[in-house]
Chain A
Amino acid sequence: EPEVTQTPSHQVTQMGQEVILRCVPISNHLYFYWYRQILGQKVEFLVSFYNNEISEKSEIFDDQFSVERPDGSNFTLKIRSTKLEDSAMYFCASSRDSSSYNEQFFGPGTRLTVL
């Protein structure tokens, strides 16, 4: 069964450093998403991406964040200068289309720890 994969499973970084979180969505999916979950809090939407551009982003997704689909298979989330409060579990998801009733398939997540 096709699945969304994410690497690494755990990333530890120093405050101020850049990190890139990687995701491989399901191959015939067209819409891609990033969510995050700070420990003990809700899963929060960050950004959605379609046709090589951002279709929607949340208030959390400020200038420190960027997304890219560099090679037709990977989907990356970059945080330019990490802060302590960026420590969270980051989930990638993909779907065939953006309709509200279509299933999003989630990866297992990357746990980011900023020291």
Chain B
Amino acid sequence: GDSVTQMEGPVTLSEEAFLTINCTYTATGYPSLFWYVQYPGEGLQLLLKATKADDKGSNKGFEATYRKETTSFHLEKGSVQVSDSAVYFCALSGAGGTSYGKLTFGQGTILTVHP
């Protein structure tokens, strides 16, 4: 079945450091790929998405490129801020044409940014 694997966490960075959170997936067909973020005490919020190969999703300085050849969707940010401290989830949807709407998540990566 479909699956998503994220890099092990937690990740701790200093403010203005470069961030990469790795995400790889296994799926039949052509899924859409997402990054969701969860701030303390809140629900999951969509951060960015990409719906086909080579698409780049971007939002709030975060970027991720849909790489079909490596089945990856790594999250990057050039300069993190303390306010980026949260849990980040990679997810996919729509693989194989039989699971529309259902999201399959990675295990989440806790990011802590220190001043």
Contacts and interface: CB of A to CB of B under 8 A. Distances in A.
Contact of A95 (B36, B101, B108): B101
23 contacts: A33-B103, A35-B103, A35-B105, A42-B105, A43-B89, A43-B91, A43-B105, A43-B108, A45-B104, A48-B102, A55-B101, A56-B101, A91-B43, A99-B100, A99-B101, A100-B31, A100-B51, A100-B95, A101-B32, A101-B49, A106-B36, A108-B41, A108-B43
Interface residues on B, range: 20 to 34
Contacts of A41: 107
A67 to B, nearest CB: 14
Give chain A's interface residue range (CB within 8 Å of chain B): 20 to 34
Contacts, number: 69
A101 B93 contact: yes
B42 interface: yes
A25 interface: no
Interface of B: 31-32, 36, 41-46, 49, 51, 89, 91, 93-95, 99-108
